[in-house]
């Protein structure tokens, strides 16, 4: 079979490919026509669009990402699109656990004081805690952080990353609520979201970006969250209404941790940068040294399936 791979993939990882695979390395500078059995998309959508102009026939298009929204336009008609479900479970789940703990422990607040070289404002942490817990009286010694143990966590978009996240949260004795595309054991359907939102101390967004999920977490749903709850967006920026998020943060109703934004990259001077109680990272949750090894293990398995005439894994239907 003829396999097209981005040229930046280290040839040492070709060891995961089965016998009978002929590799064509696809770079940024292309000429002529390519006829492939399987095309592995590059990580950059613009690079994929440029390569697409030279690919005249292909049976299978394999993404390196779990989310394929940025690449749907480059998939030739009649080709089977597969995502990379499972490849990013470990780093994204670890990122989620990290920002949940960092947010509850007010680490960004303390880092700002460290940068200023002045601890005298640390009592402000108690104000943050009391604002998140209306009706709680000031304590002695003052409460300067919150606890994860005993919290109710709602995962919206419960797939492989959601399962990996839950495994990492289990030692903290949290109560789990789960929303998926459809009802199954332990997982509630999408139409239950508005009923479950007010119960959650932590809401984690992991839904794919589709026409149905674009902007679905809007001002109304932000207002329905428990006062002081934490919103974590590890999905896609446009699933969350940025303007409504900034408003909710400024009002002190919630706090948030986001790896993705809308727009992305977040422009200099955007109001989200200066909004209170938000931790922002630049869409890096899925990036780790182990990523490409897992990508090539998946590609090797997909090639084996293709050669054996077996069904491919993670075939995309309905946009995800």
37-62 tens-digit pLDDT:
999 999 999 999 999 999 999 999 99
**Residue-level pLDDT at 123:** 86
> Do 190 and 210 meet the contact criterion of CB atoms below 8 Å apart?
no
User: What pLDDT, on a 0 to 100 scale, did the predictor assign at position 133?
Assistant: 85
**What's the whole-number mean pLDDT along residues 88-112?**
97
The pLDDT of residue 39 is 98
The average pLDDT across 266-294 equals: 95
**Residue 128 pLDDT > 90, yes or no?**
no
Strand partners, 80: 60
Please provide residue 112's backbone torsions phi and psi, each rounded to the nearest 5 degrees.
-65, -40
Taking only the tens place, the pLDDT of each residue in 144-201 is: 899 999 999 999 999 999 999 999 999 999 999 999 988 999 999 999 999 999 999 9
The phi, psi pair for 111, rounded to 5°, reads -65, -35
Q: CB-based burial of residue 214 (10 Å sphere; 0-12 exposed, 13-18 middle, 19+ buried)?
A: middle
Question: In DSSP terms, which residues pair with 4 in a beta bridge?
Answer: 24, 39
Q: Is the pLDDT of residue 318 over 80?
A: no
Predicted TM-score of the model (pTM) = 0.93
Residue 129's pLDDT is what? 87
Quote the percentage of the chain above a pLDDT of 90: 87
pLDDT in tens, 282-298: 999 999 999 999 999 99
What pLDDT sits at residue 65? 93
* Distance of alpha carbon 310 from the chain centroid: 30
Widest pairwise Cα distance in the chain: 74
Query: Is the predicted pLDDT of residue 15 greater than 70, yes or no?
Result: yes
Residues assigned a catalytic role: 236, 264, 283
Domains of the chain: 2-87+288-308 (3.40.50.720), 89-105+146-280 (3.40.50.720)
Q: If you average pLDDT over residues 10-23, what whole number do you get?
A: 97
Over residues 213-245, the pLDDT tens digits come to 999 999 999 999 999 999 999 999 999 999 999
pLDDT of residue 319: 66
Residue 30 above 90 pLDDT?
A: no
Alpha-carbon gap, residue 143 to 36, rounded angstroms: 61
Model pLDDT, residue 320: 65
CA distance 50 to 230: 40
Q: How many CB atoms lie within 10 A of CB 242?
A: 20
């Amino acid at each position: 079979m003829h396999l097209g791979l981005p040229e930046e993939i280290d040839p040492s990882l070709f060891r995961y490919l089965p016998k009978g695979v002929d590799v064509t390395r696809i770079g940024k500078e292309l000429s002529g026509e390519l006829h492939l059995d399987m095309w592995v998309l590059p990580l950059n959508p613009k690079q994929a669009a440029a390569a697409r102009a030279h690919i005249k026939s292909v049976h299978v298009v394999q993404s390196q990402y779990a989310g394929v929204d940025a690449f749907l336009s480059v998939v030739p008609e009649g080709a089977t699109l597969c995502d990379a479900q499972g490849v990013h479970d470990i780093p994204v789940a670890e990122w989620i656990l990290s920002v949940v703990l960092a947010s509850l422990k007010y680490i960004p607040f303390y880092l700002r004081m460290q940068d200023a070289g002045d601890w005298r404002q640390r009592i402000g942490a108690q104000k943050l805690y009391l604002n998140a817990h209306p009706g709680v009286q000031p304590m002695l010694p003052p409460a300067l952080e919150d606890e994860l143990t005993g919290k109710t966590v709602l995962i919206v978009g419960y797939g492989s990353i959601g399962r990996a996240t839950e495994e990492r949260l289990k030692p903290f004795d949290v109560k789990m609520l789960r929303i998926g595309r459809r009802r199954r054991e332990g997982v509630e359907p999408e139409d239950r979201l508005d009923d479950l939102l007010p119960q959650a101390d932590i809401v984690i967004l992991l839904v794919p970006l589709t026409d149905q999920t674009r902007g679905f977490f809007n001002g109304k749903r932000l207002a329905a969250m428990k006062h002081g709850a934490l919103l974590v967006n590890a999905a896609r920026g446009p699933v969350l209404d940025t303007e409504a998020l900034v408003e909710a943060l400024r009002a002190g109703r919630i706090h948030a941790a986001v790896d993705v934004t809308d727009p992305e990259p977040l422009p200099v001077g955007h109001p989200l940068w200066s909004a209170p109680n938000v931790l922002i990272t630049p869409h890096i949750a899925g990036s780790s040294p182990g990523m490409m090894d897992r990508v090539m293990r998946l590609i090797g398995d997909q090639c084996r399936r293709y050669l054996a005439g077996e069904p491919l894994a993670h075939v995309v239907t309905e946009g995800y």
